[in-house]
Structure 1
Amino acid sequence: MKDKAALAALAWVMLIWANAANLHAGERSLLERLDTEVHGYTELRYGARLQDDPEESDASVMETRLQMEILKTTDWFDLKYKGDAWADGVSEQGEYDTRELWFFARPLDMLDVKIGRQILTWGTGDLVFLNDLFPKDWRSFFIGRAAEYLKAPSDAIKVGLFTNVCDIDLVYTPRFDPDRFITGEYVSYWDGDRLAGQDAVVNEVTPNAWFKDDEFAARLSRTFTGYELAAYGYDGFWKTPNARTRDGQATFSRLRSLGASLRGQVGQGIGNTEFAWYQSLDDTYGHDPNIPNSELRYLVGYSREIAPECTATLQYYVEQMLDYAGYRENHHDGAPRDELRHVLTLQLVQLLMNQNLELALSAYCCPSDQDAYLRPTIQYTCTDHLTLEGGGNIFLGESRTTFFGQFENNTNLYLAVRYSF
């Protein structure tokens, strides 16, 4: 049992630090003259499961968090740091994470460069990712942390080229950055034989050799009369460990992806469509049951305002497994997946009380798996500094072997209070 008194002390230190970071007007004036911005917040967050999960703690999330953000701007370059420190009551440890630490410069009008730890995203999906193969943090999303933490940082070099023909974004990650995936430490999961959790935390083998186990991503885009057309490419690894080594350990197999997207005005709203072809390079014909098959992924979506200050986004997403006959022939665990996985998503956002109150719902329904996931949230901005938040992660499913169904015991509600400075 770790020292809970030390955690309590760390929480108090964080609160004192946050209070000290709320700079006086004179100090802020000095920072402004130096073109330096300092922001951050301190937060208390607690979430609890709605049913007993023998594999996990009763609390889904229990933490005191401090985030500090420092941005230095000049005529020649920008520097940014953003880091989080928190006392985690579930793991009973003090934690720290550098979310951003980068250098940005634009040496030419047609060229910009960003080097360091950064949050990267592209594609047209709303909380559905096809060609966006930058790391995600599914643990944070499912236990009730703020939605911003779904995007995990990348240690990368990003180059942007702007030409008359198209815009080109190139991203090189010298060492593989995987998703922060479900390991059992916070969220129980189906391990192929049973529901597992803290008694069977995933011990994966991660490719981590610098400049050998690297990733490369590219995006070419151009806007035609208000419609944005983009093409994507990626070479690296599957972002979650859905392959097995010869001795049975979870690992990441090689992945190459090609894709395209189109987004623009349709009627009174915005329509989008996206496509991706995932090539599983370590088993191109789908004969090895320990390596994921290649896939095609499709998305079509539409977003519009359906009432004053109320926006709805509806999406239809499909995953199609290739070489499915070989998969069925070599699959022996008794719970094979379907060739086609269909998912309908609905995002609703309603703003009230001069936009100080936000009601939101993210809903995923998978008819092929007969499971679903709901993430309702409510957020109220009390003052410029104080925000209250509540929400839930609700998992439903007919089977514990499907993606959302396996998490049913992790259904939770959470509350948070945040003080920003």
Structure 2
Amino acid sequence: MIRLQSLSLALGLTLFAPVTLASDEEWDEAWEDDPWAEQVASPWQPLSGYLELGYGTRLQSDSAGLDGPTLSQALGRLETGYRSDRLQGSLRLDLGYDDAVDQWIFDVRELTLGTDVGTDAHLKVGRQVLTWGTGDYLFLNDLFPKDWQAFFSGQDDEYLKAPVNAIKGSWYGQIVNLDLVYMPRFEADNYLNGERFSYFDPISGQKVAPDKRADEPSDDAASARLYWTHQGTEYALYGYWGYTGQPLGADAQGKPQHARLNAYGASVRLPAMGGLLNAETAYHLSPDADNITLSAPQDKVLALLGYETELVTNLTGSVQYYLEHIRDYQDYLTSLPNPEYGADQNRQLFTLRLTYRGMQEKLTLSLFSFYSPTDRDFYLKPQVSYRPNDQWLLSGGLNLMNGQEQHTFFGQLDDNSNAWVRLRYYY
């Protein structure tokens, strides 16, 4: 009984004790620490990227004297971005060392700032990778710079598309959309120049590796695309005003140069026969073709027809037919120092891609092949990649080129056939 009375007395004193109310500042501090309170997301994206080691070696000796590795680099990627209601920014930066050419790597692949202009337009300014068209490794209207040295050495396909300084404006209408791209200074392809791969020289009639580049024009370039979709079919019209990505022309002294190029084209892509059917065409016009002090490529008509489908579960396949027709063919042969090394008037090319994904898409096997019945040459690009988890990726493959003539596109590269391997860690 005494314990119960003591307990009752204690409860009574507690209930009737004076209560001290918290101040407004104390309540605010308490709510700031509330784990259930709504968190404001940061506009900055977290830093991410990868570290990669790559090595590639020739499968034969090179008649031009190149004997080093085709790929030997340690590479680090840094990525981040900024997103707000009004502004969008992005950064993709590659840092590393390339032992194959004894150079440090500092490659700004993307550094852009974008903003909406009204409700139907967007503006993006800075260094960026641009691409359009329907071709698979074949570019009729996509005349933005390409990195062919990366492509033939076994680097990731991402590196085939080289970045460029540009201003891109996009307008989105109810029926059609429009992209306009202005490049204040033309930027050429990273073409085969003897630095890493040898090539055929029609002047000397042999394979060379001079390690030199043509001077790039200090001029601007521009591209445009008008595209729309109707009843599941994608349509597009293209335009380009600039220069050839590779030095296909020459001055009065025979020094290679980038010739002026205007291009106009169209494409269509639609579902058909259980897959995707695409067709594309382009007309490449050489404004310098009639200039007697310059040598420029003749006008060309390009055409592409492709089809992609799933053959069986986890196995997809695609085929393409490509035609390149040279207009005024006799004038073209007359302009060559050695006409016997000239291209056929109608160069034809077939491609085949097979891709298999297994082990819950951890394993990917792929083969891409080019074959030209007119040039009688080929290029095989088999590849395997294995990703055991989200952090690691191991890839390896071959680049096999050969042909019956040493002056054709793939035939000239037979001494550059190589094997490569890459190990990448994502963070």
Q: Which residue identity does 1:48 align to in structure 2?
A: T
CA contact 1:52–1:58 (8 Å) conserved in 2: no
Partner of 1:303: 308
Matched, 1:86 2:91: no
* Conservation of the 8 A alpha-carbon contact between 1:311 and 1:350: yes
Once the 2 structures are TM-superposed, how far is the Cα of residue 32 of structure 1 from its aligned partner? 6.1
Q: Does residue 76 of structure 1 match 2:86?
A: yes
Counterpart selection for 1:214 from 220, 224, 231 = 220
1:37 aligns with 2:43: no
Alignment of 1:233 with 2:233, yes or no, is no
Q: Partner residue of 2:148? A: 138
- Counterpart position of 2:55: 46
| Other structure's SS at 1:343 match | strand
| Correspondences of 1:185-200 after superposition (within 5 Å) | 185-192=195-202, 193-198=204-209, 200=210
Identity, % of aligned pairs?
35
- Contact kept in structure 1, 2:295 and 2:335, CA below 8 Å: no
More deviation in 131-140 or 161-170? 161-170
Q: How many residues were matched structurally?
A: 386
1:118 aligns with 2:124: no
| CA deviation after TM superposition for structure 1 residue 109, in Å | 2.2
User: Given residue 167 of structure 1, which amino acid in structure 2 is its aligned partner?
Assistant: N
In structure 1, C-alpha distance between the alignment counterparts of 2:42 and 2:413, rounded to whole Å: 51
1:341 corresponds to: 347
Contact map agreement 1:31 1:37 (CA 8 A) in 2: no
Counterpart secondary structure, 1:33: coil
Alignment of structure 1 residues 285-296 onto 2, 5 Å: 290-296=295-301
Q: Name the amino acid aligned to 1:331.
A: L
CA offsets per residue over residues 293-330 of structure 1, 9 Å max, x none?
Answer: 11000000000000111111100001000110212233
- What is the CA–CA distance in structure 1 between the aligned matches of 2:290 and 2:355, rounded to whole Å? 42
User: Are the equivalent residues in 1 in contact too, given 2:288–2:294 (CA < 8 A)?
Assistant: no
* Corresponding residue SS for 1:109: coil
Q: Secondary structure at the match of 2:135?
A: coil
Does residue 321 in structure 1 map to residue 330 in structure 2? no
| Mapped pair 1:420 → 2:426 | yes
Instruction: Please show how residues 1-400 of structure 1 align to structure 2 within 5 Å.
Output: 33-54=42-63, 55-192=65-202, 193-198=204-209, 200-208=210-218, 213-284=219-290, 290-333=295-338, 334-400=340-406
- Which runs of 5 or more residues in structure 1 are unaligned? 1-29
CA deviation map 1:274-309 (0-9, x unaligned): 000000010159x88821111000000000000111
After superposition, the C-alpha distances for 1:138-188 in whole angstroms (9 at most, x for unaligned) are: 010001111110000011011111112310010000100111111110011
Q: For the Cα contact (< 8 Å) 1:188–1:195, is it kept in 2?
A: no
> SS at the partner of 2:137?
coil
Q: Which amino acid aligns with 1:84?
A: D
Cα distance in 1, alignment partners of residues 40 and 369 from structure 2? 43
- Separation in 2 of the partners of 1:142 and 1:165? 40
State the Cα distance separating 1:196 from its structure 2 match. 4.2
Judge which range, 189-198 or 45-54, deviates more.
Answer: 189-198
**Contact kept in structure 2, 1:220 and 1:231, CA below 8 Å:** yes
Whole-Å separation in 1 of the counterparts to 2:146 and 2:106:
17
Which amino acid letter does the alignment assign opposite residue 128 of structure 1? L
Say whether the 8 Å CA contact 2:132–2:142 is kept in structure 1.
yes
| Distance in 2, Cα, partners of 1:37 & 1:197 | 47
Change in CA separation of 1:145 and 1:236 when aligned onto 2, cut-off 3 Å: same
Structure 2 unaligned spans of 5+: 1-38
Q: Is the 8 A contact 1:195 1:406 kept in 2?
A: no
Match of residue 19 from structure 2: none
The 1-side partners of 2:293 and 2:347 are apart by: 21
Deviations 1:233-257 (A, max 9, x none): 1111111111111222211111101
Offset from partner CA, 1:204-226 (integer Å, 9 cap, x none): 12102xxxx11111101111100
Task: Label 1:400 to 1:353 Cα distance change in 2 as closer, same or farther (>3 A).
Answer: same
**TM-score, normalised with respect to structure 1:** 0.89
Mapped partners of 1:64, 1:34: distance in 2: 31
Please state how far the C-alpha of 1:197 moved relative to its aligned partner.
4.5
Choose 1 or 2 for highest CA Rg.
2
Q: Is the 8 A contact 1:187 1:197 kept in 2?
A: no
User: 2: distance between equivalents of 1:253 and 1:31?
Assistant: 53
Letter in 1 for 2:329: Y
Distance 1:129 1:207 in 2: 22
SS in 1 for 2:46: strand
- Please report how far the alpha carbon of residue 108 of structure 1 lies from its aligned counterpart in structure 2 after TM superposition: 2.1
CA–CA distance in structure 2, aligned partners of residues 38 and 302 of structure 1: 39
